[in-house]
Amino acid sequence: MARIAFAWELGGELGHAMACNALARVLHGRGHRIAFIFRELHQLSFLTDTAAYDIFQAPVSVSEGHGVPIPASFAEILAGCGYDRPEHLAGLLGAWIALLDRCKPDIVVSDFSPTALLAARILGLRRASFGNGFSIPPRLTPLPAFRFDQPVPPERVAQADARALASVNGALARFAAAPLATLAEQFETDEDFLNTFPELDAYGVRPEAGYWGPRLSVDAGATVHWPAGTGKRVLVYLKRDLPALDALIDALARGPHRVAAFIPELEGARRERLAGPARIVSQQPMRLAPLLGECDLFVSQGGNVSVGTLMSGVPQLVFPSQYEQYLTARRLEQIGAGSWLAPDAPPQAVAQALERALLEPRYAAAAKAFARRYPKYSAPEQQRRMVLRIEEIVTRPSRWPALPRPGATPILTPT
Amino acid sequence: MARVLCAWEFGGDLGHIRRLIPIALELRASGHEVCVAFRDSAFLESARAEGFEAFIAPLLRAPRMASQSPLSFSDILLNLGYDDARSLAGALRAWRSFYELVAPDVVVADYAPTALIAAREARIRRVTVGSGFSSPPLRDPLPALRPWIATDTNVLRALDDRLAASVRAALGAASRPLEPARELFEADAHLVCTFAEIDPFGPRDDVEYPGPQADGIAGPSIEWNTDDATRVFAYLKPRDPRFDAVLAGLRALDAEVIVAAPGLAAELARAASTPRMRVVGAPVNLDPLLARATLCVSHAGPGLAARALAAGVPMALLPQQLEQFLIARRIAAGGSAAMLSPEDAAPDFVAWLAALVARNDLREAAARNARAHRHHSFADATKSAAARISAVAAS
């Protein structure tokens, strides 16, 4: 039995919590002890079967987001998440070290958790990255830009990298840890569970051997059936603060389509506007597999759920609400399996895009063609292998040297 | 020896760590094992640099809407995220796991109500520390924050009930039966680290007053240059909308002026300085300045207000928020200060400040305050707070 800590430090979506929970459930079932170290604790209320887990707050910066408005590289994301000053980062890093040193996990599974990886490095803990392409940067120097919609000057990328590295090394010095030669070293792991498709990778295609496929569990959640009828079937997974949500609710409520929707914590009044004989509004995450089996359109904001449902061959309509989602939306557009709209698109545009996505056969054709590209992909098999890989890592001695802890025996001890 | 956790959840500024870190140091010096949990990541390193294990405190999701003028402590907590049972449930679970991890014998809560509720559920001993505002009188209902405005008891009770219902929903089936909101915040000791007369809810019998403490973090030391001139010390937030006008008023005084404006950029501080007015963008060591100041201008933060009171310095107070307003109101009522509330129209600050410098009544009242507190030892206040916490841990 191993102690397995899931760390989720950056990125604010239910998808992170859901993905960690799906993997943790299997590991827990095999007798391992689970700790969730999460940035957003309210997401626990949407997860089932976590009662036996230890739950901790992930150290996150109070001034998060005061960095670069539209980041172009991982280093620019870090700038707004506590990596602005060595002192601030040292506080966050110290909090991760304090927690991990007390929990003593056999492995840290890092979901978008760069500082947890750094703490695990200092403690000599085994560690794995677990996420989509955006959260696991290629280990290059400098960490490359992920923006592909417009050119990013190389010097901007290099400067951001150097600044973040200076903060990291300034913080490491406070822990008497050796400096990193490159920021990429921070992301060294025992395994990268790169849970996406090469075609959807924010950084473009990397060597194929590294891809594990999407990490969405389509078999978890409340069982919901499509309402009876003849309308097209529209599956909706959105957040209630999406500016275009009211326009979409109105368009769906006016139209003949059948709807199954999960919009976490949707207010009663808006739920009533959307719900109807042909339209189900679930208050819990829905089990997606049976719904996707006969679905005409999947509407989301382009998070994990969007990549995760791609293998079902269902076309998508995406309202990307932050940069990572925007990159996913653009990749979907590239492969032809979906279209996207600005998160604050006006009502008429929303209604038109909805009809077009349902009527134009090219989206469905491209989505089906994409699903046929990986005929042997199996989500259960992927999960089985990830679990086996984690168990393989934890049964071997850690390959990472731990720093001597305060109070350790000095190297020279006179007798 | 005991394991002590010092927790800070809400409230900004330096006041909380200036209180908690000296107490933590004192507890450690007496042999206790101490760790801290702070919500504000920017202050974790200052605790870690003192050798403490410094954890992040569980965070609540920021509410989508908040009332502008909270009526009671319950209302404040609802504003801070307690209306959101999902978020509160997550935070309480995280405190529970955290307590299992560090196994504290006593939790010292500095504006840390969720830590307090979780410790209550886990049957861990607890002590609140603060300057009074964050430990309101535990009456039923929790009292109105503005006693000079008539507030319907039923409204207060409804706020308490909403708070208690949210906590109960968050704790789930395992929680104790619903009780009045005040019971959630009961502790083995409530230590109000200020003078009773500037406790926003004081003086009162159900708390202990170790009194104000010495500064945990001393800034650079600045000395007065002159012996005979009027000497005005100001401690102002650069973001206050009145900042520039107050600075202009200070500059026009016939006085030597020292302004501490923490957060002001060095070049702006230099530009604002004159031969008779030095502006620094950092906290400063207060003792040498207050000892010889003729007027202290501030926002009525509890720490500085108590020190100026004990030093016998008349005050010009410009509170920015409710806690400061309540403190300023008390000092003004005691006769040693004049105040401007955030809603008051800005006066001609040159004339306002010059008139205050000249007022004998302020000086006399300030001198009375100094006499009343002449036996107070700021260093001993930390020791007695720590001793009380030790006693609770040993009980």
Question: Which residues from A are below 8 Å from B57, CB to CB?
Answer: 57
| A41 to chain B: closest CA residue | B90
> Which stretches of A291-385 are assigned E, i.e. beta strand?
297-300, 316-318, 338-340
> Which stretches of A185-271 are assigned E, i.e. beta strand?
191-194, 233-237, 258-262
Question: In which element (H, E) is residue B213 found?
Answer: none
CB contact under 8 A, A59 and B84: no
Establish if B35 touches chain A: CB-CB under 8 angstroms: yes
> Does position A67 have pLDDT exceeding 80, yes or no?
no
Quick: pLDDT tens for B327-339: 999 999 999 999 9
Question: Which residues from B are below 8 Å from A87, CB to CB?
Answer: 45
Indicate the average pLDDT of chain B: 93
> Does position B216 have pLDDT exceeding 60, yes or no?
no
Dig out the tokens for A357 from the structure. 């996505």
Q: Which of A57, A82, A265 sits opposite B58 (nearest CB)?
A: A57
Residues 6+ apart with CB under 8 A from A132: A194, A195, A196, A200, A201, A202, A214, A215, A304, A307, A324
Quick: pLDDT tens for A210-253: 899 998 777 788 999 999 999 999 999 999 999 999 999 999 99
pLDDT for residue A148: 82
> Does position A414 have pLDDT exceeding 70, yes or no?
no
Give the pLDDT mean for B207-226. 83
Number of alpha carbons in the 13 Å side-chain half-sphere of residue B57: 30
Please state which of the ranges A144-148, A250-254, B358-362 shows the lowest mean pLDDT.
Answer: A144-148
Measured in angstroms, the CA of A101 and the nearest CA of chain B are apart by 10
Residue ranges of A 167-226 with Cβ closer than 8 A to chain B: 174
| A264 to chain B: closest CA residue | B86
pLDDT for residue A70: 82
CB contact under 8 A, A88 and B45: yes
CB contact under 8 A, A62 and B42: yes
Residue with tokens 């070049």: B267
The neighbour count for residue B269, using CB atoms within 10 Å, is: 18
Burial class (CB in 10 A: 0-12, 13-18, 19+), A387: middle
Establish if B56 touches chain A: CB-CB under 8 angstroms: yes
Question: Which residues from A are below 8 Å from B40, CB to CB?
Answer: 62
Whether ipTM > 0.85 holds is yes
Residue % of chain A over a pLDDT of 70 = 96
d(CA A71, CA A143): 13
Q: Is this model's pTM higher than 0.90 or not?
A: yes
Question: Which residues from B are below 8 Å from A43, CB to CB?
Answer: 90
> Does position A403 have pLDDT exceeding 80, yes or no?
no
d(CA A172, CA A184): 15
The torsion angles phi and psi of B337, rounded to 5 degrees, stand at -145, 155
Residue % of chain B over a pLDDT of 70 = 97
Establish if B65 touches chain A: CB-CB under 8 angstroms: no
| For the ranges A204-208, A300-304, B14-18, the one whose mean pLDDT is highest | A300-304
Measured in angstroms, the CA of B80 and the nearest CA of chain A are apart by 14
Quick: pLDDT tens for B147-199: 888 999 999 999 999 999 999 999 986 656 667 888 899 999 999 999 999 99
pLDDT for residue A376: 87
pLDDT for residue A405: 62
Cβ–Cβ pairs < 8 A, chains A and B: 102
Residue with tokens 């909706």: A236
